[in-house]
Chains A and B, each alone.
Chain A
């Protein structure tokens, strides 16, 4: 949007900065999609977000640039990396595998449609209103001061109301993450067994052999191979707890 004015008043360093940042952005975006390792994909995302931060500086929005780096590259990507690490770093993404049938074709068509829309919107004249009353970048004063002023005048209520959102986040996370009191947390070995199965034995095959052998085999062996048995067993006892 500001692109038009930037190009009009563009000096060579401006154009150069824009070009380099744009290349970083788009290159990073491709990296996110095409990298085989999830960690590399997340790091490519850092490149994209960093490129956007550079563009913000170019647009005279220094505060946004700083926030972009601190929040997105600093916090959100680190969160992604945490999740990736927890789920297993070693798993390679099969980039070319179709998860849903026909997904690739649909994605391509939709992507082209979005591209066409962007081009169409870009070609038509962008009618924008009067310069924003609350956040105009023209005139004197620093970016941060203007933003702070807007937050505490025009956007005071939204700013205050955000606190309710934070409370929701806390309560919601506690409710969803907390296990019910009466259900014991599953022991670790029961979780780990199905995640790392032996190289040659099939856990489901093992169920069959255990059942064939009858009830004479040790019960803890079934419990360790089949997580369903282990988790459903303690459920019967706690069912009585709330009724008392």
Chain B
């Protein structure tokens, strides 16, 4: 033992003496949240491999929640360090410990606390055994954390891959449904393609600036005025494409609806929350803190991206009858709102974006958990008609879902309202008036399809009047559908939440009616919710309401995070 250390010591001394190799100080505490997730993941993997009998999925879920809490505590300790000592870089300047990074560490930890609860109920119901979901989720979370705290493009790329590859696998977790495998394949091929584009962007940026370190790139660009910066702009554009794919911004959103629909529902929720958190963390950092000198170049591009994303996400979501697909398009719409903050590129805008990502990740997790519960065995049916009368059959679940949807629509007294308010306010403050108006219009349009689901859940008109409809033929229903369409157009034109609300109040009951008519008796799909899912939903809805009524702590957190850059 002593001999070997002696040899090693001699070797190290020789190397240090000969080449002057100064190994960087490995400050493990700065990457403690990541290490907790990765280490815990290895333990879970080993436990599942070594245990004689397959462990129940709840054991893994408990472990994952525990790891999430542990990484949350580690993140909060880092937050205390940062607030008391200021931001610093660690381990050869490749890790950034600042408010921005810690904010995302907290977001990822929260996702990892809530997501396993939803997964446990689903996996139990579907009879999917094994620890794979949890292991993949933990690795994915560590990737998002690395993306958030990376100070080096290479590390961002590695984080991106560690984030994405588990998501590809999670999309294909359900062997029994063909759509799941198809989603995995599609996501993998397109994702690999976008990663390649991203690496090319890194290569061009490196060629133009001589470094992959974000701080060094920023310093180089602030020292030098580059006259012919075609290569740098090319690299920047390719980086933006890579990120835009990850966060599903239009026109790089093509994969989103199919993948979200095909993936097992809890995996969809996790994917939506985690990919957006990691993607936006790196996107905001790279563009705002590293390339502020090129802002006039990238701002118009982000402007166009934001508008396309806002408009397409909202408009296409309206015509979806599949709730899962509708939420997929709505997630595109949300990405547009986060891009508002980036376009503004002010401290206020970034704070708004951070707040938005945090709020959205909890909302989307909860929403997809309800979708998983209502969808029934094997993700069989996510049609909106399945939600009819949910308010009567499962009032608490329906109210919870309604709150989550209303928050996504931006209703007051929920976190969703403030998240939309802050990014739009930042856009106005940055004089992007057109963008702000389009964003508000898109919020109005989006309110329509959220409220439509809410109304379907609480309308028993279809069921009470089922016999009437079947007796009186389809005319009423058809007239109702026409009226609904007319009102839908009105709502789109006005773009006001009020108008959409009126339309929603009238429309869906009749739209739903024709499907009922032939059957005579309404179908009552069984909805079972496990205690795990209930706990998770209580957390999500609770956070939505508590921080909606008392927003100051979370807002302050996001604001401080941008100050300690």
Distance of B90 from chain A, by nearest CB (Å)? 9
Q: How far is the CA of A241 from the CA of B176 in the complex (A)?
A: 14
Q: Which of B23, B139, B228, B230 meets A153, CB within 8 Å? A: B23
Tell me which residues across on chain A come within 8 A of B26, comparing CB atoms: 156
**B181 to nearest A CB, angstroms?**
8
Whether, in the assembled complex, A107 has its beta carbon less than 8 Å from a beta carbon of chain B, the answer is no
Check A164–B162 contact: CB distance below 8 A: yes
* Least CB distance, B180 to chain A, in whole angstroms: 11
How long is the Cα–Cα vector from A161 to B42 in the complex, in angstroms?
Answer: 14
Q: Which of B1-44 contact A (CB under 8 A)?
A: 19, 21-24, 26, 31, 38, 41-42
B408 within 8 A of A: no
Contact of A149 with B19 at beta-carbon distance under 8 Å, contacts A124-B230, A127-B227, A129-B211 already known: yes
Q: Contact at B220–A176, with CB atoms within 8 Å?
A: no
Contacts of B224 in A (CB 8 A): 129
Complex Cα distance, B127 from A183, in Å, reads 13
Closest 3 CB pairs of A and B: A242-B127, A129-B210, A172-B169
When A132-B210, A153-B24 are in contact, do A165 and B158 touch as well, CB less than 8 Å?
Answer: yes
Residue from A124, A127, A153, A179 whose CB has the most chain B CB atoms within 10 Å? A127
Interface string of B340-355 (1 = CB under 8 A from A): 0000000000000000
Closest to A152 in B: B23
Partner of A126, one of B207, B213, B216: B207
A162 and B207 within 8 A (CB): no
With A129-B209, A154-B213, A172-B169 already in contact, 6 other A-B pairs whose C-beta atoms are closer than 8 Å: A127-B226, A128-B231, A134-B211, A158-B94, A158-B158, A165-B161
Q: Contact partner of B132 among A1, A121, A175, CB < 8 A?
A: A175
Q: Does B51 contact A (CB under 8 A)?
A: no
Interface residues of B in 118-132 (CB under 8 A from A): 126-127, 129, 132
A149 and B23 alpha carbons, distance in the complex (Å): 9
Q: How far is the CB of A13 from chain B (nearest CB, A)?
A: 27
A–B complex contacts, Cβ < 8 Å, 22 sampled: A124-B230, A126-B207, A126-B208, A126-B228, A127-B228, A128-B207, A128-B209, A129-B209, A129-B210, A129-B220, A153-B24, A155-B92, A156-B94, A158-B94, A165-B158, A165-B162, A165-B165, A167-B42, A171-B166, A172-B169, A176-B172, A242-B129
Question: Count of B residues near A, CB < 8 Å?
Answer: 60
Chain A interface size, under 10 / 10 to 19 / 20 to 34 / 35 or more: 35 or more
Q: A134 CA to B19 CA in the complex, in Å?
A: 14
Interface assignment of B229: CB less than 8 Å from any CB of chain A: yes
> Chain A residues with Cβ under 8 A from B175's Cβ?
179-180, 183
Q: A125-B228, A129-B208, A164-B142 are in contact. Are A158 and B169 (CB under 8 A)?
A: no
Per the 8 Å Cβ criterion, residues 93-134 of B in contact with A are 93-95, 126-127, 129, 132
Shortest CB–CB separation between residue A158 and chain B, in angstroms? 5
B498 CB to nearest chain A CB (Å): 45
Q: List residues of B whose CB falls within 8 A of some A CB.
A: 19, 21-24, 26, 31, 38, 41-42, 45, 91-95, 126-127, 129, 132, 135-136, 139, 142-143, 146, 152, 154-155, 158-159, 161-162, 165-166, 168-169, 172-173, 175-176, 184, 206-211, 213, 216, 220, 224, 226-232, 234
From A120, A149, A171, contact of B136 by CB (8 A): A171
B22 and A175 within 8 A (CB): no
- Spell out A's residues near B (CB within 8 Å): 1, 120-121, 124-134, 141, 145, 149, 152-158, 161-162, 164-165, 167-169, 171-172, 174-176, 179-181, 183, 241-243
User: Which of A120, A162, A168, A175 lies at the interface centre, i.e. has the most chain B CB atoms within 10 A of its CB?
Assistant: A168
Q: Is the CB of A156 within 8 A of B24?
A: yes
Most chain B CB inside 10 Å of its own CB: which residue of A125, A175, A242? A175
Cβ contacts under 8 Å, A179 to chain B: 175
| Least Cβ–Cβ distance between B411 and chain A, in angstroms | 39
CA distance A145 to B21 in the complex (A): 11
Pairwise interchain contact A164-B94, C-beta atoms closer than 8 A:
no
A29 to B: closest C-beta gap in Å: 17
Please tell me if the beta carbons of B132 and A168 are within 8 angstroms of each other in the complex: no
Query: In the complex, what residues of A have CB within 8 A of residue B94's CB?
Result: 154-158
* Complex Cα gap A138–B127 (Å): 60
CB-CB < 8 A to B152: which residues of A?
155, 157-158
Which residues in B have their C-beta under 8 angstroms from that of A241? 127
Rounded to whole Å, the gap between the CB of A209 and the closest CB of chain B is 28
Report the nearest A residue to B229, measured CB to CB: A127
Residues of B near A127 (CB, < 8 A) are: 208, 226-232
Cross-chain contact A130 with B220 (CB below 8 angstroms): yes
A167 and B19 contact, Cβ closer than 8 Å, known pairs A127-B232, A129-B209, A161-B146: no
CA distance A191 to B224 in the complex (A): 64
**Contact between chains at A158 and B154 (CB < 8 Å):** yes
Given contacts A156-B91, A169-B165, contact A175 B173 (CB under 8 A): yes
Q: Is the CB of A153 within 8 A of B22?
A: yes
B209 partner residues in chain A, CB cutoff 8 A: 128-129
Within the complex, the shortest CB–CB distance from B538 to chain A, in Å, comes to 28
User: How many whole Å from A169's CB to the nearest CB in chain B?
Assistant: 7
Q: How far is B234's CA from A127's CA once the two chains are assembled, in angstroms?
A: 12
* B213: A residues at CB distance < 8 A: 154
The one of A121, A162, A176, A181 in contact with B184, judged by C-beta atoms closer than 8 angstroms, is A176
Known: A169-B165, A180-B175, A242-B127. A124 touches B228 (CB 8 A): yes
